[in-house]
Amino acid sequence: MYGAIEAGGTKFVLAVGNEKGDILDKQVIPTEHPTITIPKVINFFKNKGIKKLGLGSFGPIDINEESNTYGQLQKTPKNDWVDYPLGETIKIALNVPIKIDTDVNVAAMAEAKWGNAIDVNTCFYMTVGTGIGAGAYVHGQTLKGLSHPEMGHIKVRRHPEDTYVGSCPYHKDCLEGIASGPSLEKRWGKKGNELANDTKVWEIEAYYLAQALTNYIYILSPERIIIGGGVMNQQQLLPLIRKRVIEMLNGYVSSPYLTGKEIDQYIVSPGLTDEAGIKGALYLAINS
């Protein structure tokens, strides 16, 4: 049996699964102060007989296995968790090996192994929710280097009609600061699901997300883009994003996926629905 943790900005998903990737037991707990959340995590896994643990976490987090601070959170906008040794605390308490990557990197890997990108070699995964993050699976590995990608913090050009100052504590109006769920709510004074029929809301949101995807396409050239997260539950948004990506690329990348309606098979929703992250963490445990 393998343990899996998806540590997110608003909730932790905890699961136990087998080597085929089946989830046999699962629990969701809110992300509160570590002193509240972590004992619940330990308690869930205790006596479950897991032999390895995979952790897909929000970031920034140290994912360098050779580092002294492997699994330690860094300058996250979630203040209670800054510098918290997430991986080490869990590893010691449960006495099992733990493998750590970002939530979005493992989600990209899970979609490549078991989801909507099993037919291609490279997969890009983006989530638009409490925050905006993205990961990639490239050449048989998740993407990392000096640190891990923090793709939600790129800057995109401002929509001419949008004057919202932005909510990122580090960069004000980076992508996450202007297009995450909370930013959307602050800009319009209502939650996304109360704004479903306001076309201007989604035109601006699609403008930002399509710009970001266009940059990711130019930089990574992924073979499939998966886009999930709470904000994407607004079904009208994905078609708007696809249309805008085609317009912005303006035919420069010679692929039917990026010039016509085949984009419907290129930018898609997660095949694992809301389980891409937790299944990715499970995959990490199984293959560590």
How many binding residues for a second copy (CB under 8 A)?
50
Span of 34-42, 187-195, 248-256, 267-275 interacting with a second copy by CB under 8 A: 248-256
Our CB check for a second copy shows the closer of 199 and 265 to be 265
Our CB check for a second copy shows the closer of 103 and 223 to be 223
Tokens of 91: 């590893």
Conformational region of residue 286, where left means phi above 0, alpha means psi within -120 to 50, and beta covers everything else: alpha
List 146, 161, 197, 273, residue binding a second copy (CB under 8 A): 146
List 52, 91, 113, 148, residue binding a second copy (CB under 8 A): 148
Name residues whose C-beta falls within 8 Å of residue 93's C-beta, 6 or more positions apart in sequence: 38, 42
Phi and psi dihedrals of 2, rounded to 5? -120, 145
**242 is a contact residue toward a second copy (CB under 8 A):** no
Question: Per-residue x/- mask for a second copy, residues 205 to 234, rule CB under 8 A?
Answer: ------x--xxxxxxxxxx-----------
Question: Per-residue x/- mask for a second copy, residues 74 to 103, rule CB under 8 A?
Answer: xx----------------------------
| Pairs from 231-238 (Cβ < 8 Å, separation ≥ 24) | 231/128, 231/129, 231/179, 231/180, 231/181, 231/184, 231/192, 231/205, 232/128, 232/269, 233/192, 233/193, 234/192, 234/193, 234/196, 234/202, 236/196, 236/202, 237/202, 237/205, 237/206, 237/209, 238/267, 238/269
Beta bridge partners of 227: 126
**117 is a contact residue toward a second copy (CB under 8 A):** no
Beta bridge partners of 73: 61
**139 is a contact residue toward a second copy (CB under 8 A):** yes
Span of 21-29, 37-45, 182-190, 249-257 interacting with a second copy by CB under 8 A: 249-257
Which residues form the interface with a second copy (CB under 8 A)? 60, 62, 74-75, 121-122, 134, 138-141, 143-158, 170-171, 211, 214-223, 248, 250-255, 257-258, 266
